[in-house]
Chains A and B, each alone.
Chain A
């Protein structure tokens, strides 16, 4: 069994009166890809936003429970540090429109005021764009605006931007939901390669995608963690009736 890098204990989350998540216990192994699936509104996105404390941006959000990244309590750490260790990619590609492709890739350093030497920057940009399988397509137009890229390329640029910070964990919030099938296939392939070097937690409402790319799957329903286990086992022999019904398309 691989070592666990991220551990969620008794996590509950609510917005005002509205309870979103209850009693979530999960553990993510190093360099694996875990898919979090479930019908719309089941709390998938809230769950991963709790991991890097992005849910705190909503004024009346409340959370209880603990999340450990390498035995360090995420909620006892400054969110700025947490977010540098846990990267995130969003549903819609959101490259910085005022920046070039190059500046987008290195944005995590520039915006944080971390000074790098020119060679270090060049190296980080090339390395992260290569990891995001975008380098070959953009290496001759690094100083053009990122918003000229296609949707799929923009999303890979966002992945590169997150990878440049060398995070331990990468959170993907339905990264392909705004993309066409071809771009989706491209991202899936990329993600399958990335999981060899980084722990990935991917939210998806696409059952087939979860089956294709993930090692582990967590099934969330109405804010509850219904089932968690190796993807292959879960898809062939789900233990919970609700998982079975969801996978066979009876709801969701």
Chain B
């Protein structure tokens, strides 16, 4: 009797120990995230006000000034990269999910996977060689191309994965009504996968919104409100990089503020993605 009791006690004890351990470890994995959020909020939120969001930066020595050029630049760059990557990415995703077994599909998928693994700074150099050098100037366009190349794999993969889940019975339902293949893809298959594709696009945007490296020799940065896509443009990460590496303490404060704005934007995008996935999910 005694022996069984001890063994049961031991069992229960080990059970509890294991449970505590995994809870502690999973909690510790969210600690860095909260520390980052806390630090950035603490240092950044006091800087953020309407003036900070709406004004252009001021020269060293003058107090005040804002980051409106960087906010505008980031939105502009996201817009450009969207145009570069979304149509291409969605069509590539359709191709991959439609012609799963083929050789071309295999090569395409492989290239997309490799593209995803290429360091962002290298993509920046590529965009420099492709766009900046021939055009002779740093530009918003070249930054958009660099970010678009970074977004492309995210969108292709999200589209492919989502469309693969659309059951064949829907395709058959459409084709059996005498609907042509392109119309079946555009009007039946794509709408059924819309939530997954949208969340892929949003995640792609969230990914490139914080990229600095590919912009260093493409968009380059600019203290002005630039609306010409052939001229250099600022962005939030570039501004943070420039301010944080500067020797002026007041600029460091501005960098915290810009970080807070950027992280709120990315966090917001991620939350919206969750909502979109949940709300527009199609039940098959």
Contact = CB atoms under 8 A, between A and B. Distances in A.
Interface of A: 52, 54, 57, 80-84, 87-88, 90, 92, 94-98, 107-108, 110-113, 147, 158, 161-162, 165
B183 A108 contact: no
B170 A54 contact: no
A98 B176 contact: no
B163 to A, nearest CB: 14
Contacts of A147: 283
10 contacts: A54-B172, A54-B175, A82-B178, A83-B178, A94-B170, A94-B172, A97-B284, A111-B184, A112-B179, A161-B177
Q: State the main secondary structure of chain B at its contact with A.
A: helix
Interface in B9-52: none
Given A94-B167, A108-B178, A161-B173, 6 more contacts: A54-B175, A57-B171, A84-B177, A95-B173, A97-B170, A111-B174
A57 B170 contact: no
B180 interface: yes
B226 to A, nearest CB: 41
Nearest to B282: A97
A96 to B, nearest CB: 6
A116 to B, nearest CB: 15
B192 interface: yes
Contacts of B184: 111
A83 B172 contact: no
Interface string B160-173: 00000001011111
Nearest to A110: B187
B79 interface: no
Interface class of chain A by DSSP = helix
A108 B173 contact: no
Contacts of A158: 173
A111 B181 CA distance: 11
A241 to B, nearest CB: 37
What 9 A-B pairs come out closest when comparing CB atoms? A84-B178, A83-B178, A94-B169, A88-B176, A108-B177, A111-B179, A94-B173, A98-B191, A97-B282
B170 A83 contact: no
A162 B178 contact: no
A17 to B, nearest CB: 18
B216 interface: no
A108 B179 contact: yes
A87 B172 CA distance: 12
A96 B283 contact: no
B269 interface: no
Interface string B179-212: 1100110011001101000000000000000000
A2 B167 CA distance: 40
Contacts of A54: 172, 175-176
A94 B194 CA distance: 18
Contacts of B174: 96, 107, 111
B183 A111 contact: yes
Contacts of B170: 94, 96-97
A162 B177 contact: yes
Nearest to A91: B169
A92 B194 CA distance: 23
Contacts of B183: 111-113
Given A97-B170, A97-B284, A111 B188 contact: yes
